[in-house]
Amino acid sequence: MVPETCALFIKGCTGDFPPLNDDRITGLFDKYDSNKDGKIEEKDFLYFYELSCRDKPETVRENLKQHNIRNDLKKLSEVTEETAFRTEDMPRFKIAENQEYFDKLMVLLDRHDTVSENAWDLVQMLATNRLLYRRVLQLQNAIDGQTGKVNWTKFFDHQSDYKLLYTLQIVEAVMEEGEGIQDRVLILEEPTENKAIAIPAQTAVASVPAPL
């Protein structure tokens, strides 16, 4: 290490690029340049780090962190095996699959205030809810018991702007994917934020264009 590379090292640790006459640089070379040749050899640098680990462990950890090195001395760029996880373990899938949690989010959508807006933003980041997805595919609650025909007024929830939009998003996804996908996972794994629609809390249902 020479003064120029020492300055780069300090910049990597602190974000501050010091001049070559900075006290941190001159002090380091005065103390650890054992043969006074203007260079700090590897063994001298390791000795410097050994003493720093004893005297200033928190500072050393923070410096290593700035260089993307973990406390176990592994570089973040080299860590691959520990980042593997199942898609189903992601929070957006966990919440969408927990019907109790999802139902509570849907209730918040009916408040018509900033809470509803925040709840909607969260819903848009989740995977599609399996129960509501199947209800759309099977036209649950929409078949007239007497005529056997679809009652679209019952199918689309006009009492809640957000729930209506959520249903429309599922319908749109089904139409895009085609027929025969009831048991496919693709739609269930598609986050609805890809079709996010920003609406005010009091948006009128009539302002939503019919997709069919």
pLDDT digits (tens, 9 = 90+) for 3-14: 999 888 888 888
Instruction: Give the pLDDT score at 79.
Output: 66
Q: What percent of the chain has pLDDT over 90?
A: 11
Dump pLDDT digits (tens) for 96-150.
Answer: 889 898 889 888 988 888 998 899 999 989 988 888 888 877 776 667 667 777 7
Instruction: Give the pLDDT score at 206.
Output: 33
d(CA 152, CA 137): 13
Dump pLDDT digits (tens) for 42-74.
Answer: 999 899 888 988 898 888 888 888 888 887 888
Instruction: Give the pLDDT score at 177.
Output: 67
Question: What's 18-73 look like in SS3?
Answer: CCCCCHHHHHHHHHHCCCCCCCCCHHHHHHHHHHHHHHCHHHHHHHHHHCCECCCC
Each domain of the chain, given as residue ranges in start order, spans: 3-82, 87-207
Amino acid at 36: K
Instruction: Provide the 3-class DSSP secondary structure of residue 137.
Output: helix
Mean pLDDT of the chain: 76
Q: Cα torsion at 103, 109, 114, 115 (round to 10°)?
A: -20
User: Sign of torsion, CA 67 70 73 74?
Assistant: negative
Average pLDDT over residues 177-181: 53
